[in-house]
Structure 1
Amino acid sequence: LDELDAIPRPLACDEPDDLDEILAQADPAPARSAVDVGERIAGAWLGRAAGCVLGKPVESIPREGIRAIAEATDNWPIAGWFTAHGLPEEVSERWPWNRASRPTSLAENIDGIPEDDDLNFTMLGIALLERCGTGFDALDVARIWLDHLPAGRIFTAERVALRNLLEAYLPPESATRRNPFREWIGARLRVDAYGWAAAGDPVAAARMAWADARVSHTANGVYAAMFMAAAHAASLSESSAAACAEAGLSVVPARSRLAEALGTARSLAGEREWEAVVDELYLRYGNYHWVHAINNSALVAAALYAFDEDFSGAVSAVVQGGWDTDTNGAAVGSILGATLGPGGIEERWTAPLGSRLTSSLPGFDGIELDELVRRTVAVTATPAAA
């Protein structure tokens, strides 16, 4: 890994690390006034939880396995929670459920919102904003990681970065030292809270996402976080998911690999049926690891463009698409939940979840969704701490 780190990056000019250079190579969307903030944040939390739980039991199962499971249980195209009831033994043996999620995330056993890193990091973002306001930097992120993150509940780039922090390697070195996962999806799943705090301002959201992401990621791993944060910010001001995707794309460097993938997703979503869109994304980006930032972000963008104002269609389609199913379901669910509000999410997605979250983060286990919404609204547009 040290030898690989010494090799110059051939795309460094097109994929900068400095925030000002990143934004100079992008075309950021202007800020717009947020509307119905409390209602939209409530929808975003509900949508994030529902999309996450839908994707949890099939996380790491290839696309063909997801389809085999769903077809065998009369749930294709996906229209509801996965179930083991009626699943033939030969299918379950070939495509075993995600071991950690099976006891909590199937139709027959969902009882509240189970723990997931996609939800833990969103709550940690709220805690960071409560502590530091919107003017935090990467060192503030590092401190709250050291204070709150249980090492056994984080993975890949985040686990490497936490180890580096414990060995006194500070950001941005914490992201680059012996970290082969630096362009994977981890930073992208951490940024919902920053988008909500920057309500309607994609650039402000992207700045916070950059500060967080550089603790553990570089290049497209960082840009994916900026893309997602800007989209979440827009979800509090825009009326369509497609407009949120546009806001997200606007903060990504135009010549980066991520920008190319997002642009491709936009074009495909306007031209083809969903399964054909996903086929083409796999053809173009299937060489990336199933938790890489580029392929997963392209899939999320395609779902936002294709299903615009259809919560069920969007979360079901993005989970059907495979790769990082719970993270992508959570991202799409959050955006559509915000733009549509809680009333735009069918009860079949919300009733089994109840109102409480399970978490290993200090102070968050058993927290009520209403309390999370209240705390999220309280940090919206919080000024930088003195």
Structure 2
Amino acid sequence: MALSGSALADRILGGWLGRIAGNMLGKPVENGHHWTRDRIDRYLRRADALPLTDYLPALEPPPDPVEFELRPEWQSCVRGRIHGSCRDDDVDYSVLGLHLLETHGPDFSTEQVGEVWLLRLPYLQTFTAERAAYRNLTAGVKPPLSATLDNPYQEWIGALIRADVHGWVNPGDPRRAAAMARRDAVLSHTGNGVYGAMWAAALIAAAFTADGPRAAIESALDRIPPRCRLARTVRRVASLHDAGVAWADVLVQLERETAGLPWIHVVPNAAVLTAGLLYGAGDFTTTIALTVRGGLDTDSNGATAGSVAGVLCGAAAIPPQWTEPLEDRVRSAVFGFDGARVSDLAARTHRLAVLG
């Protein structure tokens, strides 16, 4: 199914809105050490918010600060208090990626990715692998060494969260999306860290034309090495889903199979994301709710799940409780973009997609 005109524009806007909404949903509980799946659900039960169909509610009176300690930004990310999006790196990199493509086109080089970072992204708004790569760039270290020198985070989730824009501008073309995401990712990541970015970009590109999330996941798997740990983990989740295993039991099993990996590593987070997409079955609310309830890097996973689900259903079909509080505004640390309209960012992305 080919998309064009208003239908394509609606799907791209759906990706942007979905990414921002999913990120906002997961942001208050982003701490995989503390906010386990069980603790997230205990919070939601105490707030009478299961099933989860809206942004996280604030518990009143305030709960035990040790048991339910939300991130400092929680007051602008919870139900009834959202007025535009919070600033977050999961959205900053989508904005930065758009600027990269507008400036250098689809044939950008990895070196140009680094130049855009240095010109537009504050150092203190980078984390883990991105901060290591940024530090290397300022010292004159060029890619691919920028990804490996003094960087213990090479297979963490950072490159995956930068991948969406490469999918949005390549609707129905997961091969090209993955290739562009790879050029971006190798600035800071190696191995499964790069494969995660390629898979996510291909997943989003495939979602424009795929018959549901399962077909998009399968198409995206074709773009990464079949024996890499990321691909094997995604296939494992899919096989358990096909066997009728319950969502929560799938996550328990995958937690065992990925034991020992940090909570920001790309592989266990890909398992949570895949489960959210499959068990969400294309429904926007169910998809991002299950993904965030899955724990680990909740805001990053919620963002990518929201992007995929938003592309699958289009902006017009996203329930208003997710989009109206955003007020068509995005906060961003990327120089020149703070306060941008989400609709404008989506329109600019659409122009790039049409140009090809």
Q: Secondary structure of 2:195's match?
A: helix
| Residue in structure 2 matched with residue 47 of structure 1 by the alignment | 18
Please tell me whether the aligned partners of residues 40 and 338 of structure 1 are also in contact (alpha carbons under 8 angstroms).
yes
Please tell me whether the aligned partners of residues 315 and 329 of structure 1 are also in contact (alpha carbons under 8 angstroms).
yes
Q: Secondary structure of 1:376's match?
A: helix
Letter in structure 1 aligned against 2:51: P
Q: Of 90, 94, 99, which aligns to 1:122?
A: 94
Please tell me whether the aligned partners of residues 276 and 290 of structure 2 are also in contact (alpha carbons under 8 angstroms).
yes
| Residue in structure 1 matched with residue 40 of structure 2 by the alignment | 66
Deviation of residue 354 (structure 1)? 1.1
| Residue in structure 2 matched with residue 303 of structure 1 by the alignment | 276
| Residue in structure 2 matched with residue 316 of structure 1 by the alignment | 289
| Residue in structure 2 matched with residue 24 of structure 1 by the alignment | none
Please tell me whether the aligned partners of residues 134 and 197 of structure 1 are also in contact (alpha carbons under 8 angstroms).
no
What is the CA–CA distance in structure 2 between the aligned matches of 1:263 and 1:59, rounded to whole Å?
A: 26
Please tell me whether the aligned partners of residues 319 and 325 of structure 1 are also in contact (alpha carbons under 8 angstroms).
yes
Q: Secondary structure of 1:380's match?
A: helix
Once the two structures are superposed, what CA deviation does each residue of 1:44-64 show, in whole Å capped at 9, x if it has no partner? 111111111000000002222
Structure 2 unaligned spans of 5+: none
Once the two structures are superposed, what CA deviation does each residue of 1:48-89 show, in whole Å capped at 9, x if it has no partner? 111110000000022222112111101123222212233663
Deviation of residue 199 (structure 1)? 1.6
Matched, 1:138 2:110: yes
Deviation of residue 382 (structure 1)? 4.0
What is the CA–CA distance in structure 1 between the aligned matches of 2:46 and 2:271, rounded to whole Å?
A: 28
Q: Secondary structure of 1:94's match?
A: coil
Q: Of 245, 256, 274, which aligns to 2:247?
A: 274
Q: Secondary structure of 2:181's match?
A: helix
Q: Secondary structure of 1:81's match?
A: coil
Q: Of 204, 214, 233, which aligns to 2:205?
A: 233
| Residue in structure 2 matched with residue 28 of structure 1 by the alignment | none
Please tell me whether the aligned partners of residues 73 and 87 of structure 1 are also in contact (alpha carbons under 8 angstroms).
no
What is the CA–CA distance in structure 1 between the aligned matches of 2:46 and 2:259, rounded to whole Å?
A: 25
Please tell me whether the aligned partners of residues 212 and 312 of structure 2 are also in contact (alpha carbons under 8 angstroms).
yes
Instruction: Map residues 104-115 of structure 1 onto 2, 5 A cutoff.
Output: 104-115=76-87
| Residue in structure 1 matched with residue 351 of structure 2 by the alignment | 378
Please tell me whether the aligned partners of residues 268 and 302 of structure 1 are also in contact (alpha carbons under 8 angstroms).
no
Letter in structure 1 aligned against 2:118: L
Aligned CA RMSD, in angstroms, stands at 1.4
| Residue in structure 2 matched with residue 361 of structure 1 by the alignment | 334
Q: Secondary structure of 1:102's match?
A: helix
Q: Give the TM-score taking structure 1 as reference length.
A: 0.88
Please tell me whether the aligned partners of residues 30 and 297 of structure 2 are also in contact (alpha carbons under 8 angstroms).
yes
Deviation of residue 146 (structure 1)? 1.0
Matched, 1:211 2:183: yes
| Residue in structure 1 matched with residue 228 of structure 2 by the alignment | 256
Deviation of residue 309 (structure 1)? 1.6
Deviation of residue 259 (structure 1)? 1.0
Once the two structures are superposed, what CA deviation does each residue of 1:276-323 show, in whole Å capped at 9, x if it has no partner? 122112121242111100010121112222222211111000000000
| Residue in structure 1 matched with residue 166 of structure 2 by the alignment | 194
Letter in structure 2 aligned against 1:64: D
Q: Secondary structure of 1:222's match?
A: helix
Q: How many residues align?
A: 350
What is the CA–CA distance in structure 2 between the aligned matches of 1:88 and 1:278, rounded to whole Å?
A: 30
Q: Of 328, 331, 349, which aligns to 2:322?
A: 349
- Identity percentage over the alignment? 38
Q: Of 131, 135, 140, which aligns to 1:168?
A: 140
Q: Secondary structure of 1:134's match?
A: coil
Q: Secondary structure of 1:262's match?
A: helix
Q: Of 39, 48, 51, which aligns to 1:77?
A: 51
Once the two structures are superposed, what CA deviation does each residue of 1:135-187 show, in whole Å capped at 9, x if it has no partner? 11211111111111111111000000000000011111000001000000000
User: In the superposition, relative to structure 1, how do residues 87 and 325 fare at CA in structure 2: closer, same or farther (>3 Å)?
Assistant: farther
What is the CA–CA distance in structure 2 between the aligned matches of 1:237 and 1:89, rounded to whole Å?
A: 45
Matched, 1:294 2:267: yes
User: In the superposition, relative to structure 1, how do residues 86 and 269 fare at CA in structure 2: closer, same or farther (>3 Å)?
Assistant: farther
Structure 1 unaligned spans of 5+: 1-31
Please tell me whether the aligned partners of residues 199 and 381 of structure 1 are also in contact (alpha carbons under 8 angstroms).
no
User: In the superposition, relative to structure 1, how do residues 361 and 266 fare at CA in structure 2: closer, same or farther (>3 Å)?
Assistant: same
What is the CA–CA distance in structure 2 between the aligned matches of 1:66 and 1:88, rounded to whole Å?
A: 15
